[in-house]
Amino acid sequence: MQERIFVNPQIHFGKSCVAGTRIPVQNVLELVREGISFSDIICNYYSDLKPEDIQACVQYAIDVLLIEDLHVAVPTS
The answer to whether 29 and 61 have CB atoms below 8 angstroms apart is yes
Q: What is the pLDDT at residue 71?
A: 73
Reduce the DSSP state of residue 10 to 3 states and report it.
coil
Every domain of the chain and the residues it spans? 2-62
CATH T-level fold of 2-62: Arc Repressor Mutant, subunit A (1.10.10)
Q: What is the pLDDT at residue 2?
A: 67
Q: How far apart are CA 25 and CA 4, in angstroms?
A: 10
- In this prediction the pTM is 0.84
- Low-confidence residues of the chain: pLDDT under 50: none
Q: What is the pLDDT at residue 69?
A: 76
